[in-house]
Chains A and B, each alone.
Chain A
């Protein structure tokens, strides 16, 4: 149980394009999901907390207008990278956990974003 699915796994697009990444909890409901960014050989850095039915909470230094987050249902959160540029190229990963005490975060398989 506790499977998190992320789509697409890899996307290559031209500079200026907007890219949407989906994160789904397949067998549980998640009121909160998290979006991370990871550069090569580095740890995961939290970008934002996605809250079902309300606005996302962004970490310091993350542009909310650049990284749009929508959490319209208890099983789906989306991250849209707007007007992407080469410096936005990275590995983006989402996570979620079932509600309840002592429920760990489970991660999606990540999305490799390459902006040409």
Chain B
């Protein structure tokens, strides 16, 4: 099935550094979601975006819904060891019965 273009595929950063990842699509989405998945667990919702141009924060996390509706980014500030995991973007189209299209994921490693 279709997947969103998510980058980077993996990141190795030092503790305390900021992180940025993004997703792009050739088609429009009406909702953008960001999830984090730890090994052996299901994805956990981090941020949900519902309006083009919307900028939303959740603690050290900030995400934006691109104005064209075809992209979104997630920033993590002052990374800590527990930020380690796989981050997925997901898009939802209007009238899609709430089906999600997922990005390929960004594996984040935080080095002490």
Contact residues in A for B60 (Cβ distance below 8 Å): none
Contact residues in B for A91 (Cβ distance below 8 Å): 40
A97 to B50, CA, bound (A): 15
B48 A102 Cβ-Cβ under 8 A: yes
User: How many chain A residues touch B (Cβ–Cβ < 8 Å)?
Assistant: 27
The answer to whether A110 and B98 touch (CB under 8 A), given A43-B88, A43-B103, A46-B1, is no
Indicate if B66 sits at the interface (CB-CB under 8 A).
no
Partner of A49, one of B1, B50, B90, B97: B97
Number of A-B contacts defined by CB within 8 Å? 60
Partner of B33, one of A34, A59, A104, A108: A104
Chain B 36-69 per-residue mask, 1 if CB under 8 angstroms from chain A, else 0 = 0000111111001010000000000000000000
Partner of A110, one of B42, B103, B107: B42
- Kindly report which residue of chain B lies nearest to residue A101, judged by CB atoms: B50
Indicate if A109 sits at the interface (CB-CB under 8 A).
yes
- Kindly report which residue of chain B lies nearest to residue A51, judged by CB atoms: B97
A105 to B88, CA, bound (A): 13
Closest-CB distance, B52 to chain A (whole angstroms): 14
Considering only residues 1-53 of chain A, those with a C-beta below 8 Å from chain B are 4, 6, 32, 34, 41-46, 49
Indicate if B31 sits at the interface (CB-CB under 8 A).
yes
A6 to B50, CA, bound (A): 27
- Kindly report which residue of chain B lies nearest to residue A44, judged by CB atoms: B102
Indicate if B100 sits at the interface (CB-CB under 8 A).
yes
A112 to B41, CA, bound (A): 9
Contact residues in A for B3 (Cβ distance below 8 Å): 43
Contact residues in A for B99 (Cβ distance below 8 Å): 34, 46, 49
Contact residues in A for B31 (Cβ distance below 8 Å): 102, 104
Considering only residues 2-25 of chain B, those with a C-beta below 8 Å from chain A are 3
A59 to B105, CA, bound (A): 21
